[in-house]
Amino acid sequence: MSQDNTQVKLAARPKGEPKSSDFEITTGPVPAPGDGEVIVEVEYISLDPAMRGWMNEGKSYIKPVELGDVMRALAAGRVVQSNDPAFAEGDYVTGQLGVQQYAVARGKDLSKVDTSLAPLTTYLHVLGMTGMTAYFGINEVGELKEGENVLISGAAGAVGSIVGQIAKIKGCKVVGIAGGKEKCDYLINELGFDDAVDYRSEDVYKGLKRACPEGVDVFFDNVGGDILNAALTRLRMHARVVICGAISQYNNTEAPKGPSNYMSLLVNRAKMQGMVVFDYADRYGEAAKEMAGWMQAGKLKHKEHVVEGIDRFPEHLMMLFRGENFGKLVLKV
C-alpha cells in the first residue's frame, strides 16, 4: 500500500492515569498482508475502560499489551486489500484491530458486519462487545428474573445503559447510579429507568436508601470502590452482584479499596461473581439477534459520544475515567 499508517504504541506501563508519554505515535508503511490476511482501514475505535487493565503487567483475563506493540482496541473498519477468500474489498468488519489507521489481520479473527442493517458504530456498541457484556452479564451472571429490583453503577455508560434497558424490557424496577444531573435525567426520561442516584450531588448511601427502599436483587457493578460498598448495604436475600468492572479503581497506584461491607453476602446469602464477556463467544449470535429485535422495536436506545484524532488517544481514553463521556465513547479515525 502506498498509504502511510499512523499507529499508537504502548511505550511505557502507565503509573496511575495514562499520559501521552506512555504512548508513542509512529508513521510508517503498511506491510503486505500474508496468506489468509487482510488489510482493514480502521474507521472507528472503541474506547473501553478495560483498555486500562490491558496496559498493566501481570496475570489477568487477557495477556497485557507488550511494550512497543500497537495498543489493543476493538475497532471497526473496511477491508481495503484481502488475501482471504472469505473477505472482499469493501467488506465491513470488526475485531481487535488496535489503535491505528490500518490493521493487518487474519481474516479468521474478524467478524463481517452488515452496515445496511445498522450503522457501523453499532457493531462496537449494542451489537458488539458492549452489548454482549450487558446481555450476558445481567442475564447469565445476574440471573435476572422478571419483576426484580435492579441497581446499576456507571448506569449512563455504554454497558450500564444497555443493562438497564434489558432489565426494563424484563419488567424490572431499575435504578441507576450516574454522575451529574444530565445523565440522571437521561436515564429516567430517555431510557425509562425508575430512578437515579447522582453520586456527584448526593451521598450514595442515602441516595440508595431513597431510591431502593426495598433493596436490590441484582447489582450490576461497573465502578467498584465506595459505590460497590454502598450497594452491598442494599442487598436483598439471595441477591446477585455482577462484577463487570471497577472503573473507579483502574488508575489506582495503591491496592484498590476492598468492599468492606462484603459480609452482607453472608447475611443475605448473596453472591458476588465476576464476568468476562469472551466466555460467551459461542452465543453472541443469539444475543445480537435478540438485541437487534429490541432496537428495531425502539425498546433499546443508544447514545454515542464520538471523538476525533487518533493522536490524542490517551486524553480521549481518560474521558472514561473522569466520567466526561456521555454515551458509548468511540474514536473516529
59 binds a copy of itself (CB under 8 A): yes
Among residues 26, 268, 299, 304, the one that binds a copy of itself under rule CB under 8 A: 268
133 binds a copy of itself (CB under 8 A): no
Among residues 229, 247, 284, 325, the one that binds a copy of itself under rule CB under 8 A: 229
Nearest to 307 by CA among 182, 162, 121: 121
273 binds a copy of itself (CB under 8 A): yes
Q: Do residues 135 and 162 lie in contact, with contact meaning Cβ atoms separated by under 8 Å? A: yes
* CA dihedral for 139, 144, 147, 151, sign (positive or negative): negative
d(CA 85, CA 55): 34
Q: How far is the CB of 249 from a copy of itself (least distance, A)?
A: 7
Closest CB to a copy of itself among 94 and 264?
264
Phi and psi angles of residue 121, each rounded to the nearest 5 degrees, phi first:
-60, -25
267 binds a copy of itself (CB under 8 A): yes
259 binds a copy of itself (CB under 8 A): yes
243 binds a copy of itself (CB under 8 A): yes
Please name every residue paired with 207 in a beta bridge, in sequence order, or none if there are none. Answer: none
Among residues 208, 244, 310, 317, the one that binds a copy of itself under rule CB under 8 A: 244
249 binds a copy of itself (CB under 8 A): yes
Choose the binding region for a copy of itself from 41-49, 65-73, 179-187, 275-283 (rule: CB under 8 A): 275-283
Q: Do residues 78 and 43 lie in contact, with contact meaning Cβ atoms separated by under 8 Å? A: yes
Closest CB to a copy of itself among 161 and 264?
264
257 binds a copy of itself (CB under 8 A): yes
Distances (CA, A) of 268 to 113, 152, 215, 236, 312: 44, 19, 11, 6, 46
* CA dihedral for 118, 302, 175, 279, sign (positive or negative): positive
Residue 173's CB is within 10 A of a number of other CB atoms, namely 19
Give the residues lining the site for a copy of itself (CB under 8 A): 59-61, 224, 229, 243-246, 249, 255-276, 279
